[in-house]
DNA sequence: TCCCAGGATCCGT
DNA sequence: ACGGATCATGGG
């Protein structure tokens, strides 16, 4: 299988917040390791076990893109322009915390907050554990710029650390059950829950509706249901979202 | 100065 | 069920 360099766009598509792109070179963290990826070493993605899983290489995106392109011309345009985007398979805990932080926030600032959390509560690379975060204070989190999300992060950390919320249990739940389960944490509503299901549990049939997606569905799809993209709502969503933040649609 | 950012929550109606 | 106000912060 050929891996094209544009899969790296996935790292800067708003689903993960640990990578920075400079002239086509993507540097950032997966798990406890720093990666520097570009067209030069793109084939490492195939041979490295972590990367292979992270980029969801087992899934045949060509077939899915062909199918989605047949559904609507706008989606077809997004896929033709940004065809490399994949749904990453990210760490569950990190994704949960990260998307709590995404609430009413912008991607640049989310990345900054996460970097400060990693530096303050970990080694600057690994995402801090729930148990470490559960021991901090709202004031401390406020000092890192979390704003009103500080209490949400603390609530999530405590519930995960205490075992009240067990992220492995969601593996056995369907989407509705998982969404409902996540919403037991303050600061998680439908949209954030859907992002966690899509970007950490690889539930490609969920469709997080943020401000961009709402605009696009209203502007181009006459507010039709996302079911028109079934069973790949999540993948369609990511093409539309990325195209929106890149000002293509 | 105002508006917006991968929202959630609370409070009227 | 639905709409609006509010939450804290930085960038345009």
pLDDT tens digits for A99-109? 999 999 999 99
Q: Distance from residue A109 (CA) to nucleotide B5 (C1'), in Å? A: 9
Give which of A153, A155, A190, A157 is closest to A175, Cα–Cα. A190
pLDDT reported for residue A58:
96
Q: Please state, for a pLDDT cut of 90, what percent of chain A lies above it.
A: 97
Strands of A19-22's sheet in order across = A19-22, A25-30, A33-37
Residue A239 has pLDDT above 90, yes or no: yes
Nearest nucleotide (CA of A109 to C1'): C10
pLDDT reported for residue A83:
87
Angle of helix A233-245 relative to helix A61-69, nearest 10 degrees, comes to 80
pLDDT tens digits for A166-178? 999 999 999 999 9
Q: Are A191 and A219 in contact (CB under 8 A)?
A: no
pLDDT tens digits for A33-73? 999 999 999 999 999 999 999 999 999 999 999 999 999 99
Q: Distance from residue A106 (CA) to nucleotide C12 (C1'), in Å? A: 12
Q: Would you please indicate which residues of A are annotated as catalytic (active-site) residues?
A: 191
- Residues in A 53-112 whose C-beta is less than 7 A from nucleic strand B are 99, 102-110
Q: What are phi and psi of A19, to 5 degrees?
A: -115, 145
- Mean pLDDT across the stretch A202-221? 97
Q: Distance from residue A41 (CA) to nucleotide C5 (C1'), in Å? A: 51
């Amino acid at each position: 299988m050929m891996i094209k360099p544009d899969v790296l766009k996935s790292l800067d598509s708003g689903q993960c917040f640990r990578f920075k792109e400079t002239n086509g070179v993507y540097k950032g963290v997966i798990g406890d390791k720093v990666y520097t990826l570009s067209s030069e070493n793109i084939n490492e993605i195939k041979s490295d076990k972590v990367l292979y899983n992270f980029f969801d290489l087992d899934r045949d995106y060509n077939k899915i893109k062909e199918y989605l392109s047949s559904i609507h011309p706008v989606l077809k345009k997004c896929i033709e322009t940004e065809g490399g985007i994949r749904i990453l398979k990210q760490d569950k805990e990190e994704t949960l915390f990260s998307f709590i932080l995404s609430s009413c926030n912008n991607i640049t600032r989310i990345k900054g907050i996460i970097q400060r959390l990693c530096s303050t509560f970990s080694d600057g690379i690994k995402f801090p554990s729930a148990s470490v975060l559960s021991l901090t204070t709202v004031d401390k989190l406020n000092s890192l710029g979390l704003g009103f999300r500080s209490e949400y992060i603390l609530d999530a950390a405590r519930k995960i650390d205490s075992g009240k919320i067990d992220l492995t249990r969601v593996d056995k739940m369907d989407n509705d059950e998982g969404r409902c389960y996540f919403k037991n944490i303050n600061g998680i509503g439908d949209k954030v829950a859907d992002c966690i299901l899509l970007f950490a549990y690889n539930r490609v049939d969920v469709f997080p509706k943020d401000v961009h997606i709402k605009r696009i569905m209203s502007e181009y799809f006459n507010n039709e249901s996302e079911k028109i993209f079934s069973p790949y709502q999540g993948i369609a969503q990511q093409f539309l979202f990325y195209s929106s933040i890149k000002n293509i649609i």
